[in-house]
Amino acid sequence: MKELREEGMLCSRRSILMGSAMLLAGGILGRVRNVFGEPNPAIDKAPPLPWKWVKLDPLEAGRRAYRAYLSEGG
């Protein structure tokens, strides 16, 4: 126990309370920022249903997926 105190590995009630208070304050500030921040950008609406069926070429879809995976990092 003595060795752990010297290395600073024990948590006191004060450090746990301070950490949880900072976490709570950060959550509150983040929520306030979301409420009073800039509004979300306009999102285009989807076309009305039923959508047209499009035939896909499986080889071309695979090539595009592979290229997108490599260029965008997965």
User: Domain boundaries in the chain?
Assistant: 11-38
> What does the pLDDT look like over 19-39, one tens digit per residue?
999 999 999 988 887 777 777
User: Looking at the predicted structure, is the pLDDT value of residue 3 above 60?
Assistant: no
Q: Enumerate the H helices of 1-74 as residue ranges.
A: 2-7, 13-36, 58-72
| pTM summary value | 0.39
What pLDDT, on the 0 to 100 scale, is given for residue 1? 47
Question: Which residues 6+ apart lie within 8 Å of 4 measured at CB?
Answer: 10
Give the model confidence (pLDDT) of 49-68 as tens digits: 988 899 999 999 999 999 99
